Structure 1
Amino acid sequence: MSLIEAQRAFIAEIAADDETGSSSLGMKIYRGAYRERLAAALAVSFERTRRWIGAAMFDLAAAHYILSNPPQSWTLDAYGADFPAALETLFAQDPEVAELAWLEWHMPQAFAARDLPELTPADLAAAELCETDWERLRFTMAAGFAAREVHHDCTALWHALREVAADGFAVAATKPATLIVWRRGLSPHFRVLDCDEFAALGRLAAGQTFGETAALAGEQDIARFGGWFAQWLSEGLFSAVRL
């Protein structure tokens, strides 16, 4: 057996389910320690989610995830990236679970994101942009920017679960909205945007120009778009512009 074949066999045996026997007592012990380490990493990354669904249910979900999602990175810090998506399937009848887990994952990811400068109103004023320039502007989003659609008040749930289990807390269903996460300075932030506001911000995040986005807002909504844009700047949602 070649080295690569031995390595693949070793990984396959570690990741196998419990019905697959171990080749040795040492491998059995190693497999158990391997899973415990991954489960502990998930419990640390999703502390609030664990409080919300309970330790027993969380441990079952973690065991399922570990068997179906072997680590793909050298660091355990990256291991939970797909856990919210797994929870979306496992807790299809309780969709707030995946929404909470997504927020819980992306807040520290934003904190650890690569440093980027913050675009300020003063920066735009100093650029002395003409009307044609504004039409061609494209924006780079702030460090750690991420977004997903939500249907529950998962931000209230996030706060309720900060230190203790939220016994008796009733998470409220909401109209479809978009939850965004980003970092400003050294602090990660989140905010919920209604569909209209994120439709505009999402276009800029996707690379559309300022002119294209303003045109899609329409003449009747241009004032509202201007108000949103001023708020986005004040919140530090952009890091740079380019023509």
Structure 2
Amino acid sequence: MRLNDWQLAFERYLLGENAVASDALGASLIGGPSLDVETGLAIYHNAYRARLQETLRSDFPTVWNWLGDEEFDVLTAAYLRECPSSHYSLRWLGAGFEAFVLRHLMPEQSAPLAELIRLEWAFTLAFDAVPGEPLTLETMATLPAEAWPELRLALLPSVQWLHGRFNSLAMWRAVKAEAEFPDSLELEQPQVCLVWRADLVCHYRSLEPAEVHALDGMVNAGWSFAELCAELAVTLGEGAPLQAVSWLKQWVNDGLVCQRHTL
């Protein structure tokens, strides 16, 4: 058997549901005094699946806590059958987990579970994102007065913007704090949560609706600082510039934004 054919045969065996090797694969191996070929292959088969599920438990500890061992193993086994690992790094194993859950569960089941998966995966994405060039207070202090009205912002690559309908964040906090795990509940008002990395540590915080509107305008609608102040003036009047500066300082201190340079 050629090496490429042997590798494909071994891959089919590992990914198969039953730990039964083809005759060609079995004949290509030699057992030992205390471990025959069939038993040795079965160990590989079981260990491979167990390692993948261990990785998913590590990536989604709150989902695991919510579902429990048995239900989590059943769900992840089904996920691995449909979406087998296709990358050399296990880092990407859970990339399709949210979409899988949305496809295979009823909406009333899938919506809160998928949101929790999205939250936990956001921490993985934030941690591995490229660094970018964060805007700093020192840089802002050097901006000439005439540059402030046209100051525009973008989110740094690590920032994950999450819309929440359920108490996913409370569930995640409970697991981190080893506290009593809450039931899944739909929030009275949808919530925006940001997850990002700063100084090699992942951070998160929820935003009030007014701040969501302001930050969304700056980073997604392309508002300048002057346009932000004008928008806030509708509701805050003369207090608009102070509130705009306060939020801007918060975003910079958090390490959320970089300066957007226009051509």
C-alpha contact (below 8 Å) 1:182/1:188 kept by paired residues: yes
Structure 2, unpaired ranges of 5+: 27-37
Which residue does 2:30 correspond to in 1? none
Percent pairwise identity: 27
C-alpha contact (below 8 Å) 1:13/1:22 kept by paired residues: yes
The answer to whether the aligner puts 1:119 opposite 2:138 as a matched pair is: no
Shift of 1:125: 2.8
C-alpha contact (below 8 Å) 2:98/2:118 kept by paired residues: yes
The whole-number CA distance in structure 1 between the counterparts of 2:101 and 2:162 is 15
Which residue does 2:68 correspond to in 1? 54
The whole-number CA distance in structure 1 between the counterparts of 2:3 and 2:227 is 55
Instruction: State how 1:31-70 maps to structure 2 within 5 Å.
Output: 31-70=45-84
Alignment counterpart, residue 235 of structure 1, candidates 232, 235, 254: 254
If asked which structure has higher relative contact order (CA below 8 Å, sep 6+), I would say 1
Give 3-state SS (helix, strand or coil) of 2:134's partner.
coil
The whole-number CA distance in structure 2 between the counterparts of 1:14 and 1:30 is 7
Alignment counterpart, residue 191 of structure 1, candidates 199, 205, 215: 205
The whole-number CA distance in structure 2 between the counterparts of 1:146 and 1:100 is 14
Give 3-state SS (helix, strand or coil) of 1:74's partner.
coil
Alignment counterpart, residue 108 of structure 2, candidates 88, 93, 98: 93
The whole-number CA distance in structure 2 between the counterparts of 1:178 and 1:115 is 23
> What is the TM-score of this pair, normalised by structure 1?
0.77
Aligned residues, how many?
239
Give 3-state SS (helix, strand or coil) of 1:162's partner.
helix
Shift of 1:139: 2.7
C-alpha contact (below 8 Å) 1:145/1:181 kept by paired residues: yes
Q: Which protein is bigger by CA-based radius of gyration?
A: 2
The whole-number CA distance in structure 1 between the counterparts of 2:116 and 2:103 is 14
Structure 1, unpaired ranges of 5+: none
Which residue does 2:186 correspond to in 1? 173
The whole-number CA distance in structure 2 between the counterparts of 1:22 and 1:240 is 58
Structure 1, 5-14 or 171-180: larger mean CA deviation: 5-14
Shift of 1:162: 1.9
The answer to whether the aligner puts 1:104 opposite 2:120 as a matched pair is: yes
C-alpha contact (below 8 Å) 1:150/1:176 kept by paired residues: yes
| CA RMSD, 1 decimal | 3.5
Give 3-state SS (helix, strand or coil) of 2:222's partner.
coil
Give 3-state SS (helix, strand or coil) of 2:108's partner.
coil
The answer to whether the aligner puts 1:74 opposite 2:85 as a matched pair is: no
The aligned amino acid for 1:233 is V
C-alpha contact (below 8 Å) 1:182/1:189 kept by paired residues: yes
C-alpha contact (below 8 Å) 1:177/1:193 kept by paired residues: yes
**Alignment deviations for residues 163-189 of structure 1 (CA, whole Å, 9 cap, x no partner):** 54735x234421222221111223211
C-alpha contact (below 8 Å) 1:176/1:195 kept by paired residues: no
**Alignment deviations for residues 111-130 of structure 1 (CA, whole Å, 9 cap, x no partner):** 34333443123312302152
> What is the TM-score of this pair, normalised by structure 2?
0.72
